[in-house]
Amino acid sequence: MYHHTHLHTTSTSHTLESFDSPPSSVVVSDGLGPGLVVDLTSLNVKQGQTRSIVGMRKMQNYTPSEPPLEYSGEGGIPEPPYPSYPLLDSTLFLANAELNPSLTTSTNRVRMVNAGAGDTLIVRVDGDHLVVGRDGVLFPGHPRKDPGGKYVLEPGSRLDLFIFSPNATFYSDCGSGIDLNWLGAKTDVNCWSGGRFSPSHGSGYPLFTVSTSMTQASLISSLSLLKSSPLSKYTNPSYYHPSQSLLSLPPLNTSTFTYYTSPTKLSSPPSLVPSSLYGFNGVPYDGKAHPETTVCLGEVYEWEVVNPTSVGHPFHMHTNHFQIAGVTCGSPQGEECDTKQSYEVGDWRDTVMVPSPGSLRIRFRPLEFEGDSFAHCHIFGHEDRGMAVKVKIVDGC
């Protein structure tokens, strides 16, 4: 399992604070042993100002031909200049609060979390590896490996893999060479300038490098062990074991939640850009109880999350993971689409990108915890402006 903490409706402050505090990712328990946790946090620079996450703290003025010299306000952002990085109009990701660090570990397991404010990362792994799970849950079958070593890491999502070479470098890639049309034309995919998806931006930039102290013989043994049996061998049978799949069970009910963007933009403080209100089913969340839905402990529910726009909205559910039941791209009818760089039908996740446009069918069954929970878009600016729904979990329905 994997736990990441932040207060919602105060997510901007949380992300800004992550520069000054340890990574907000904690390994809770797992059947495959410990690993190196890497928190990836975004630093945004736009037209002479640092828009540090969504806080947009202003930076001292500088000319486009010069790197910034100082940052105003408090924070632990690494000191510029940043050699070989195109700072102007760019979003860069830091790894454990450092720019392109070299990390060492005594194991060969790496867990990444996209702790940025809104950009989707396409992580390219340069080194022999196998991916074993996402969002803290192992895959129901065997480990996976994309032929190009590229994986979609949505805001808030996590990627869990093993490396089998002494060194591996992880890049923020532009996604060329694979079909990523389902992410949407207006989705912020971190690349070079502006964060916009464009294969012409090149091969991306390095995020971090991992070196393991394991011997080559130990790495080969680890690879053989992972390939020898399904990952269900290491999964708690009470939760996300394949025997607990919800796909063949009849749901108690089916609900549809459609992303909503208001047609008019609201005025904002001078330090923030104007923005729309967001919501589900035409209603922005007001911080209290609208919109709201109720679910019962022990029952199976199916939700269809619909995105009618070309803007990507990563869907995140608190408390309970959900199982992917189906995915379609386009509208109104839609068609099957290839999302394997992030998820496949049958996977257990808690944060995934809904195709843009398109829809995602999920199933979940609350088992242990009752009380108020939350589901929302994991782009902080969208969540904080209403793209969320309150989920009441009750016992004894």
pLDDT tens-digit series, residues 22-35: 333 444 456 788 88
Quick check: is 239 in a domain?
no
Mean of pLDDT values over 64-86: 38
Joined tokens for residue 299: 């029952």
Q: Could you tell me the CATH number of the domain that includes residue 300? A: 2.60.40.420
204 and 253: one domain? no
299 and 333: one domain? yes
- What does the pLDDT read at residue 341? 92
| Closest C-alpha to 180, from 377, 349, 41, 312 | 312
Between 155 and 198, the more confident residue is: 155
pLDDT higher than 80, residue 250: yes
Number of structural domains, the chain? Answer: 2
Q: Which of 192, 208, 234 is the last residue of a domain?
A: 234
259 and 112: one domain? no
373, HSE (Cβ side, Cα atoms, 13 Å): 22
Distance CA 75, CA 70 (A): 12
38 and 182: one domain? yes
173 and 97: one domain? yes
382 and 307: one domain? yes
User: Residues, the chain, total?
Assistant: 397
Q: Which of 206, 234, 262 is the last residue of a domain?
A: 234
164 and 311: one domain? no
Is 66 in a helix, a strand, or coil? coil
Between 264 and 141, the more confident residue is: 141
The model's pLDDT over 188-236, given as tens digits with 9 standing for 90+, comes to 777 643 333 333 445 678 899 999 999 999 999 999 999 998 998 888 7
104 and 146: one domain? yes
Quick check: is 376 in a domain?
yes
Q: Which of 234, 256, 276 is the last residue of a domain?
A: 234
Q: Say which residues have a Cβ less than 8 Å from residue 34's Cβ, sequence separation at least 6.
A: 27, 107, 109
330, HSE (Cβ side, Cα atoms, 13 Å): 6
Question: In which domain, by residue range, is 65 found?
Answer: 2-234
Q: Which H or E element spans position 384?
A: helix 380-384
162 and 222: one domain? yes
Band the pLDDT of 264: cuts 50, 70, 90.
Answer: low
115 and 171: one domain? yes
